[in-house]
Amino acid sequence: MNIESHEHTALRAAVAALGHRHGRGYVREELWAEAAKLGYLGVNLPEEHGGGGGGMAELSIVLEELGAAGCPLLMMVVSPAICGTVIARFGTDGQKEQWLPGLADGTRTMAFGITEPDAGSNSHRITTTARRTEDGWILNGRKVFISGVDIADATLIVGRTEDARSGRLKPCLFIVPRDAPGFQRSQIDMELHAQEKQFELVLDDVRLPDDALVGDEDAGLLQLFAGLNPERIMTAAFAIGMGRYALAKAVGYAKTRQVWKDPIGAHQAIAHPLAQAHIELELARLMMQKAAALYDAGDDTGAGEAANMAKYAAGEACVRAVDQSVHTLGGNGLTREYGLASLITAARVAQIAPVSREMILNYVSHQSLGLPKSY
C-alpha cells in the first residue's frame, strides 16, 4: 500500500525521470531551467502568481527525487522554499507580483541571509540592523555561509529593527537587490565541492526603499520561522535524496561484486548495515512527510517540532548511509568513477546546516519535553 496520493506518486516518478536524464554530471543551469519549465520549481507557490498551488509536500518530493538521482538543486531549499514561501505568506501585492512568477518559472532566484559570524544559530543575537529613514531603510551588518548570492537576483536579509516602545531589537526581513550600493560579497573557500558557492556578505549603509520590508514590522519571529520551517523540511529532503543515491550505488555494487563464490551482498556483514541505512532513511522520510503535511495545513507550531525532528533524523541517516556505502565499495568508494567520495563531505552539511543537530536537541528537550532551557 502506498501512503502517498496518486498525484504525489506521479510527481515522484516524473521528477525521478528528469533527474536520471541529467544524472550525477548535471549542469545546474540546465537542470534548473528544465525543472522550472516543467513546473517543479514553483510547485509550492500560489497558482495566481504562476506556481503550482501545492506546498512543502510537493516541493520536498521534487528535491528528494533529484537528490536520489544524483543531481540535487541546493537553491531549491532557499529560493522557492524559504523566500517564495515568506513572500507568498507575508509579502505585499507588489512584492508578490514582482517576485513570485519569476521564482516559480526559474527566471529569478533569491538567496537567504540569516547566519552571522558571531551569532551562529542564535537568531536572537543577529546584529545586522535596519534603521528607518524618511524614504526607506539603511542596513548595516555582516552575514556568512550564504548560498548562491552570485546567481541570485536578490537576497532576503534578516535584520533587526528597534522597537521604539521597548528599545528591544526584533527581526525583520528585507529584499536586497544584488547590485545595491554597499552590498558586498566575497566567496568563502570551501572544501565542499558543490555547484552553489558560499559567500560572506557585508552590508555597509545599504539604502533600501520602504517596500523592501517584507511583511509587518511588528510580526517578528512569526515571519522568520515561516521561512525556517520549510528550510528544515527541504534540508531533510536534500539529505534523504543524497542518502538514497549513495545507498543505491552500494546495493548495486554489492549485488555484482564477487570476491569469493558469492556476491558480497550475500554476507550479513555487508547486507545488514545497508538494510539498516535503508530503514533509517525511510523513517526520516516519514517524519519529513509529517512536517510537510502540518506546515501545509497551517499548523506552524506542530510543523516546527516535526521539521526539526525530520531534519535531525535525515541528517543522521544520510551520514550513516553515505559512510556505509563508501565502506561497501572499499577502495572503489574513494574513486571519482563511482562518485561517492565527495558525498562524505556533502553529507555532513545535513548535520551542520542550517542548524546543528545539537541545537535541534536543545529545541526538542526544551519545547517538546519541557525540560529547563540550557542556553
* CATH number, domain with residue 146: 2.40.110.10
Task: Give CA–CA dist 114/86, Å, rounded.
Answer: 14
Q: What pLDDT score does 239 carry? A: 98
Tell me the per-residue pLDDT of 125-146, one tens digit each, with 9 for 90 and over. 788 999 999 989 999 999 999 9
Read off the CATH number of the domain in which 101 is found.
1.10.540.10
Residue 234: inside a domain: yes
Answer whether residue 219 shows pLDDT above 70.
Answer: no
Bridge pairing between strands 154-162 and 169-177:
antiparallel
Residue 374: inside a domain: no
Read off the CATH number of the domain in which 335 is found.
1.20.140.10
Q: What pLDDT score does 170 carry? A: 78
Is 147 in the same domain as 81?
A: no
Is 293 in the same domain as 359?
A: yes
Is 242 in the same domain as 345?
A: yes
Q: Which residue range forms the structural domain that includes residue 194?
A: 111-214
Q: Is the separation of the CB atoms in 138 and 206 below 8 Å?
A: yes
At residue 31, what is the residue type? L
Tell me the per-residue pLDDT of 51-100, one tens digit each, with 9 for 90 and over. 999 999 999 999 999 999 999 999 999 999 999 999 999 999 999 999 99
Q: Is the separation of the CB atoms in 185 and 149 below 8 Å?
A: yes
Residue 72: inside a domain: yes
* pTM of the predicted model as reported, rounded to 2 decimal places: 0.94
120 pLDDT tier (thresholds 50, 70, 90): low
Task: Give CA–CA dist 94/219, Å, rounded.
Answer: 19
Cis amide prior to 101 (ω within 30 degrees):
no
Q: What pLDDT score does 130 carry? A: 92
Residue 31: inside a domain: yes
Is 204 in the same domain as 257?
A: no
Is 247 in the same domain as 284?
A: yes
Is 171 in the same domain as 239?
A: no
Q: What pLDDT score does 162 carry? A: 72
Is 234 in the same domain as 179?
A: no
Tell me the per-residue pLDDT of 320-346, one tens digit each, with 9 for 90 and over. 999 999 999 999 999 999 999 999 999
Is 59 in the same domain as 90?
A: yes
Is 66 in the same domain as 127?
A: no
Characterize 323-356 residue by residue with b for buried, 16 or more Cβ atoms within 10 angstroms of its Cβ, and e for exposed.
bbbbebbeeebeeeebbbbebbebbebbbebbbe
Is 201 in the same domain as 229?
A: no
Q: Among 108, 131, 155, identify where a domain stops.
A: 108
Is 188 in the same domain as 82?
A: no
Q: Among 189, 214, 239, identify where a domain stops.
A: 214
Is 245 in the same domain as 363?
A: yes
**Three-state helix/strand/coil letters over 196-243:** CCEEEEEEEEEEEEHHHEECCCCCCHHHHHHHHHHHHHHHHHHHHHHH
117 pLDDT tier (thresholds 50, 70, 90): confident
Tally of domains in the chain: 3
